[in-house]
Chains A and B, each alone.
Chain A
Amino acid sequence: MGNDNEIIDNIANKEYEFGFVTDIEMDIAPAGLNDDTVRYISEKKGEPEWLLSWRLKGFQSFQKQKLPEWQNFDLPTIDFQKISYYAAPKSKKKYDSLDQVDPELLATFAKLGIPLSEQKTLAGVAVDVVFDSVSVTTTYKEKLNELGIIFCSFGEAVKKHPGLVEKYLGSVVPHSDNIFAALNAAAFSDGSFVYIPKGVRCPMELSTYFRINTENTGQFERTLIIADEGSYVSYLEGCTAPMRDENQLHAAVVELIALENAEIKYSTVQNWYPGDKEGRGGIYNFVTKRGICKGANSKISWTQVETGSAITWKYPSVILQGDNSTGEFYSVAVTRNRQIADTGTKMYHIGRNTRSRIISKGISAGKGHNSYRGLVQIGSKADEARNFTQCDSLLIGDQCGAHTFPYIESRNNTATVEHEATTSKIGEDQIFYLNQRGIDSEKAVALIINGYAREVLNQLPMEFAVEAQKLLSITLEGSVG
Chain B
Amino acid sequence: MKAVVVGGTRGMGRALARLLAERGDGVFLLGRDAAELETSARDLSARGARGPIATGHLDLAEPEGFGAALDAADLALDGFDALVVTAGDFASQEALERDPARLRRLLDVNLTATAVLCQQAAERLAARGGGTICAFSSVAGDRARRSNYLYGASKAGLSAFLEGLGLAYGDRRVRVVCVRPGFVKTAMTAGLPVPPFAGEPEAVARLVLRAIDRGTPVVYAPPIWRFVMLAIRLLPRAVMRRVRF
Q: Do A and B bind each other?
A: no
Chain A interface residues toward B at CB < 8 A: none
Chain B interface residues toward A at CB < 8 A: none
